[in-house]
Amino acid sequence: MELDSLSTGLQVLHDILVFSPWPSLRSLSISRCELGRRGVAELAETDKLPMLRVLSVAQCKVTDLGVEALAGSSQCSALTQLSLEHNQLTVKALPMLLGSPHLRGLRVLNLGGNGLGGTPSLEAVDEGNGGELRELGLQNTGLTPEGARLLAQSARLGNLETLRLAGCDLGPDGVRWLMRAAWLGGLRSLYLDRNTLTHRGVRALTRSPAVAGLRTLHLNQNQLDHQSAQMLAASPHLRHLTRLELGSNRLDAQAALALASSPHLGHLKHLRLAHNRLGPQGVETLLGSTGLNQLELLDLTDNRLSPYDAFVLKALPSESALEVLKLNDNKLGDEGVRALASHPGYRQLRVLFLENNNITDDGVRALTHSTTLQNLQHVALASNPIGARARRALQAVLASRARTKEV
């Protein structure tokens, strides 16, 4: 059930709880309602939602007083997922929730978008719920290196599998502290986007044996260069990665060479390198890599290609498993499309992004009549000078293929 209202949320919530109880309701999402402490307290204390397992309260001006009401209520003991994104919580909220004896069943806790600051006191976690938590979201909370140190020292996060710290202020010092966490070995997914990381932070990460369990690593929008890519590529501790995101950094052709020739990244299925500086040499090196032959998704958006670089698209091996390719904002033109449409390496391709590439009707016709791209079901062509007739012809072919596969 979802409740989305700007001003009447509290009254509506009261009416639902009092006059129309939902005894079998398992999931409740409330957003943009001015609940404040009173509304959260009413939620926390009601006995009308005995089966509630998932609760999301976003942009509702909830403060620490509301969190205190949730943490102190025995009526919340059935919750397994709690999200309090974009409210008015402070650094006190995290220890209150993790230390609550009534929230021992929590598996997912998301406090993203709150100004938690940098120094949460987590001593209470040792006697509370933390040991059962599988996913912790602290993205965009302003967590500092000191906050990372205290988080790393918590003794009750041993079952944590996913940690979201995007948009914080960790820097290399924060990463170094995280790498010392006793519970780090259980992590499967780590999100460190937008943390002003350089090769110093990457060095701390790649040298830690504790990251050997990672399957997903996000490092988008940092300050990573070819040295960072070389460290990632050379780390045996990252050999189990299946998803690596390095978008919006400073990666060049040298970085592409390091990733393409890595002896440890052969299990990657998803590689995001959008908004970097790979250029034609870097793109050709990546596409031609036999060490990355399990890739199913490759994002090369905005990497300084042009119509003169269409030939690099033919570097992909004919036995490629690639299903999704993103080439937006590369100015490849019709030449680039023709190279794709005729090359056998793209036979498995299902989804193709070619937005803002100076493609005309000629390029669309190459896609429409391609005998190679028989698995293609979706093409994104926004911001290209393409006529309506060419678009309709391509859409008809794609729709026909989709119907055939459904049958």
Q: Give the length of the chain.
A: 407
What is the reported pTM? 0.93
What's the pLDDT score for residue 11?
60
User: Is residue 111 situated within a structural domain?
Assistant: no
Instruction: Supply the CATH number for residue 315's domain.
Output: 3.80.10.10
Q: Residue 111 pLDDT > 70, yes or no?
A: yes
pLDDT at 115: 85
Q: Which amino acid is at 88?
A: Q
pLDDT confidence bin for 49, thresholds 50/70/90:
confident
What is the mean pLDDT of the segment spanning 91-115?
Answer: 92
- Indicate the range of 39-43, 248-252, 308-312, 388-392 predicted with least confidence: 39-43
Residue 331 has pLDDT above 90, yes or no: yes
| Structural domain includes residue 329 | yes
pLDDT at 281 over 60: yes
In this prediction, what percent of the chain has a pLDDT beyond 70?
A: 89
Partner residues linked to 243 by β-bridges = 216, 270
- Nearest residue to 182 via CA among 205, 153, 212, 215: 153
Query: Would 376 be classed as within a structural domain?
Result: yes
What was the pLDDT predicted at 39?
81
**Domain containing residue 358:** 305-407
Q: How far apart are CA 159 and CA 133, in angstroms?
A: 6
346 domain-assigned: yes
**pLDDT on residue 16:** 60
Residue 88 has pLDDT above 70, yes or no: yes
- How much is the pLDDT for 303? 98
Show the beta-strand stretches assigned E in 207-266: 216-218, 243-245
User: Which pair of structure tokens corresponds to residue 243?
Assistant: 């998803």
Element (H, E) at 231: helix 226-234
In a domain, 260, yes or no: no
Asked if residues 61 and 37 have their Cβ atoms less than 8 Å apart, the reply is no
Residue pair 341/316 in contact (Cβ under 8 Å)? The answer is: no
Specify the number of domains making up the chain: 1
- Within-domain flag for 162: no
Over 50: is that where the pLDDT of 7 sits? no
Sign of the CA dihedral 121, 124, 126, 130?
A: negative
Answer whether residue 393 is part of any domain. Answer: yes
Residue 183, pLDDT > 60, answer yes
Question: What is 268-328 written as a DSSP string?
Answer: -SEEE--SS--HHHHHHHHHT-STTTT-SEEE--SS---GGGGGGGGGS-TT----EEE-T
Please give the backbone phi and psi of residue 2, each rounded to the nearest 5 degrees, phi first: -120, 140
CA–CA distance, 100 with 164 (Å, rounded to integer):
21
pLDDT (0 to 100) of residue 5: 47
User: Is 359 within the bounds of a domain?
Assistant: yes
pLDDT of residue 24: 75
| Residue of higher predicted confidence among 325 and 52 | 325
Query: Which of 144, 160, 235 lies closest to 195, judged by CA?
Result: 144
| pLDDT on residue 8 | 46
